[in-house]
Structure 1
């Protein structure tokens, strides 16, 4: 028997089909991979939100930029000040056209995010990134990860939706497309007015079917000025009765004078009593200790490092003196670091003043094969010194092997392994510590080589726990310091990336970072990669360490390392690769190539097919 469909359901069916056809693209904006403008710097509109994103430090960490890079376009005068809920911000991102597979090409800025407890693609997309991407797009961009089987520490690329203007847009004075998440209460006319755009131009780019929580792109010729709310504290009421002021002041002074006399009397009595008890206490301590007494500074430091006592061995000062023949100069390794033998085992003993707490605090939370291991420490109350006892690394520093040892030259294979070891150590402190650790002093003399010529990062004396801070106290070594840190005091993981790029130049060239004429190695290095392939290879042969030129396959591998190095040395921290990308590129250099854009070298990892 033939069934009939009631006429009443046709309107519903029509509405359903129309709804399906009008669904927005959930995986992001399409783009053409060979278009003239393949990448650009643009901005997203972001709102400060409790509980985690009410300060620029956390927001800049999320977007892998510095606080200054957000505060300047957002018209915030003090980058370290707390933010108000819903405070408007412009965050810079690097937008590019990315080929996902043969049928999908998306325009987005790929931001690395390390998965934490409770994170899901949906939660991070909607809460942390405030719907500037979608969980569907995250799944497409990260095909090797299962959304239901994420592990803490997994690094996921979150594609932040964006667009770059083409030549026609630029001719029409459209220089930016600001990524903006359409809110329930928004209207196109209000958005156009807010950003200095027009409703018609927004519709031309985004179409008419705009729904709440869609990411739209607002075309503007320049970044609009954000008017930030200034919180003013109420002034105290003015007192107009001068006579009452004089009377009140006189009464107050009289009471204060009487109280001062009483306090002074009590203080003198207390001091006398404390001196008497102090003499008795010191005499008692002398009897117990047999030599001197504990200083107040030692007590304070022991309290500071009490959390380390169960993790590290506490050495006695006599043990260390015996190990180094009384800290004889013949046992000096470098600076204030001595080689010493304790119970038949060699250690590196670092002599410091009372500022060891910060280094201890950082070292106790890191544990990696490419970081020099801390074995224990010692506090000397007599001379107010602290000693850190490290594992002894047999083959000395990379600096000495490259620049001082003229007989045993490192092969290219060994140099590449050293580069990968250092990159792995930096990736660990940047990605797997919370808060992130910035070493701040990466250089060849702080890279030590063990008996197997594997590299370990040493000297965390300048390290900073937590990044995207700003300091006025600039420290470091000439030739290795990142420009943004030298100019503005910006501390971020990208300053370590810059220094690592300089170390790569040392490994390839065998040259010192600053020559006898005071010229810095990295300043004019980009020219080596200019020109056609033959010309680049010739310039590289002329520039690289002469002992490597005759090694088979060294030239091609060195060229890949040079491209990584130049990317690390970009003047814009946002354009520098992360250590995750660097480790991958160095480890798989034969399977990768790097694109060079007009805006500088930005590594794009593309698997060779």
Structure 2
């Protein structure tokens, strides 16, 4: 008995040594995911997952990049793989860092889960459990997939259906952010791992790992590693392909055989070229036939969903062909549903412009009526899915008058423009204005950095920023958006007062024009003034000399800028000054001198921390007072 007792004690000590996680205040997850609250972190944020290349399907960067909806280079750079080796096959078990966008997502009225939502198209033989454990390597659980996809039946999945797989992640909280934790890496524990080996791999103290995670993690649980920068991964040496063997020397006395062989090869080559030409012609005819058949099938499919009504109208056929790619991605509404929801598009249902409010089956939607020019907008909206962007729910096409309707989620509290420049402006305190700025910045960060090719919104302004029931901001109206950067256009569109100088002068389309317009929005949030006044003067021109002079001069200048509604409140002058400095940097006439959205989000988050730490009982920071 005594040896057995000693053996049991040794086993307990061994287990404790492997993962000596003490009880902590970190939230404990269950199989459904890692719970969170929206104000607990700086979410959404940049995060990473630690992933291992696996045979047979995931031994190249391109396949893994497609799985996580990123580019090959977005994996190779943080994973210490040179560009010259990025196209080579990977070694089974080779470690990789993959970037993801992490956020706190509400799954029902009482539960929010921290994850990155990745869309995956179901293949033959797939199940929630198989994809979670094999392809995503336990970075999520099948229970969490079921929670996030409540309308899908796990035992009856259709091939081709899109499923959201919630990849577990975390954003640094304010304390970690102050301790220079820039990223949280999602890491799945393997049976051979120890706390010491994990800490050594990432170069962080074991105490920081335990503090960031629940106690007593098990094998195949996801834990989160707080890092200031990603460690360099040691990658296997990739050997170059073997050199070609030199041709064997000619053997004397066989010249005739060589000559005969050359003539034979020439004849064979001629015949091969002839056969290839005939094959190409046949393939071309077959492809034309297949294309015509496919168009017929698409027309039949459109008839089945009830939106193919006319025949023989060339415009109508082009219109239907345009939207056929979107039929499986969005709900297709019937024009009868929209007419009933808006009482025949009565003016009482009109929100603004050509946007109407309507209720369908008890759910409220914003319905945008437009002539058919929405195909590019639909293509772009298919690529974006973020909490700070207004979500497209579906569309409708009325072929009788070639009108398209885009149906969006209804955002309850209207536009930022109406709050800043209407009668409700006094209700927006400084902290709320700052949170709105951070929300918009995070939305733009996602659009600029996590879409391929990158998307430029081109019409950022306070009237295109909507506020939901919790007063969180969402970017709306991608009608002018452009997929792809550094293009040149002669067709200048946008809203006066927000348009970047280089776009007006040279037609240059880039993410920097969005950053310029965002700088104007920041000026509106600070000053309460419109982007262009009744006399046609633009607001950003008046901020050009703000950063000049001594601190006292800048402080006096700032007091002349501040919205009068803010003087009725107490807020730290340091935070307002920081935001004003960010605005001025975004408004640089030289686009190369403007910050990226990553830098903007970081600067605004620091200012948000200052407001969060500020209280009326602690008057160490300067306070805005009435003039």
The residue that corresponds to 2:251 in the other structure is none
**For residues 17-56 of structure 1, what are the structure 2 equivalents within 5 Å?**
none
Q: How far has the Cα of 1:526 moved from its partner? A: 3.0
Q: How far has the Cα of 1:555 moved from its partner? A: 2.0
The counterpart of 1:410, out of the listed 428, 439, 452, is 428
Q: In 2, Cα distance between the equivalents of 1:402 and 1:550?
A: 15
The residue that corresponds to 1:510 in the other structure is 528
SS at match of 1:349: strand
Asked if 1:361 is matched to 2:319, the reply is no
Q: In 2, Cα distance between the equivalents of 1:502 and 1:118?
A: 36
CA contact (8 A) 1:348 1:392 kept: yes
SS at match of 1:116: helix
**For residues 177-326 of structure 1, what are the structure 2 equivalents within 5 Å?**
293=311, 295-326=313-344
The residue that corresponds to 1:333 in the other structure is 351
The residue that corresponds to 2:99 in the other structure is 152
Asked if 1:116 is matched to 2:111, the reply is no
Q: In 1, Cα distance between the equivalents of 2:338 and 2:373?
A: 19
Q: How far has the Cα of 1:114 moved from its partner? A: 9.6
Output one character per residue of 1:548-590: Cα deviation in whole Å (capped at 9) or x when no partner.
1343334221100000000000011110000011001101127
SS at match of 2:99: coil
CA contact (8 A) 2:75 2:97 kept: no
Kindly tell me: are residues 125 and 581 of structure 1, through their superposed partners in 2, closer, same or farther at Cα, counting changes over 3 Å? farther
Q: How far has the Cα of 1:339 moved from its partner? A: 0.8
Output one character per residue of 1:388-428: Cα deviation in whole Å (capped at 9) or x when no partner.
00000010000011112256531101100000000000000
CA contact (8 A) 1:403 1:512 kept: yes
Q: In 1, Cα distance between the equivalents of 2:377 and 2:310?
A: 28
**For residues 393-404 of structure 1, what are the structure 2 equivalents within 5 Å?**
393-404=411-422
Asked if 1:437 is matched to 2:437, the reply is no
The residue that corresponds to 2:481 in the other structure is 463
Q: How far has the Cα of 1:591 moved from its partner? A: 7.5
Q: How far has the Cα of 1:297 moved from its partner? A: 2.6
Q: In 2, Cα distance between the equivalents of 1:313 and 1:335?
A: 24
Asked if 1:557 is matched to 2:578, the reply is no
Output one character per residue of 1:163-184: Cα deviation in whole Å (capped at 9) or x when no partner.
xxxxxxxxxxxxxxxxxxxxxx
Kindly tell me: are residues 124 and 482 of structure 1, through their superposed partners in 2, closer, same or farther at Cα, counting changes over 3 Å? farther
Output one character per residue of 1:53-77: Cα deviation in whole Å (capped at 9) or x when no partner.
xxxxxxxxxxxxxxxxxxxxxxxxx
Output one character per residue of 1:106-153: Cα deviation in whole Å (capped at 9) or x when no partner.
xxxxxxx9952444565557799xxxxxxxxxxxxxxxxxx9652235
The residue that corresponds to 1:490 in the other structure is 508
SS at match of 2:544: helix
The residue that corresponds to 2:111 in the other structure is none
The residue that corresponds to 2:499 in the other structure is 481
SS at match of 1:511: coil
CA contact (8 A) 2:435 2:608 kept: no
Q: In 1, Cα distance between the equivalents of 2:483 and 2:406?
A: 19
The residue that corresponds to 2:409 in the other structure is 391
The counterpart of 2:593, out of the listed 550, 575, 596, is 575
CA contact (8 A) 1:541 1:549 kept: no
TM-score between both structures, scaled by the size of structure 2: 0.50
The residue that corresponds to 2:292 in the other structure is none
Kindly tell me: are residues 123 and 509 of structure 1, through their superposed partners in 2, closer, same or farther at Cα, counting changes over 3 Å? same
| Structure 2 gap ranges (5+) | 1-70, 87-93, 103-302, 611-627
**For residues 133-172 of structure 1, what are the structure 2 equivalents within 5 Å?**
149-152=96-99
Kindly tell me: are residues 154 and 289 of structure 1, through their superposed partners in 2, closer, same or farther at Cα, counting changes over 3 Å? closer
Q: In 1, Cα distance between the equivalents of 2:340 and 2:584?
A: 48
Q: How far has the Cα of 1:365 moved from its partner? A: 1.1
Q: In 1, Cα distance between the equivalents of 2:556 and 2:95?
A: 51
The residue that corresponds to 1:343 in the other structure is 361
CA contact (8 A) 2:309 2:400 kept: no
CA contact (8 A) 1:115 1:153 kept: no
Q: In 1, Cα distance between the equivalents of 2:403 and 2:513?
A: 31
Q: How far has the Cα of 1:307 moved from its partner? A: 2.2
Q: In 2, Cα distance between the equivalents of 1:289 and 1:582?
A: 44
The residue that corresponds to 2:543 in the other structure is 525
Kindly tell me: are residues 428 and 337 of structure 1, through their superposed partners in 2, closer, same or farther at Cα, counting changes over 3 Å? same
How big is the alpha-carbon RMSD for the aligned residues of Structure 1 and Structure 2?
2.8
SS at match of 1:366: coil
CA contact (8 A) 1:114 1:431 kept: no
Kindly tell me: are residues 407 and 357 of structure 1, through their superposed partners in 2, closer, same or farther at Cα, counting changes over 3 Å? closer
Output one character per residue of 1:308-331: Cα deviation in whole Å (capped at 9) or x when no partner.
111211001111011111111121
Kindly tell me: are residues 446 and 290 of structure 1, through their superposed partners in 2, closer, same or farther at Cα, counting changes over 3 Å? closer
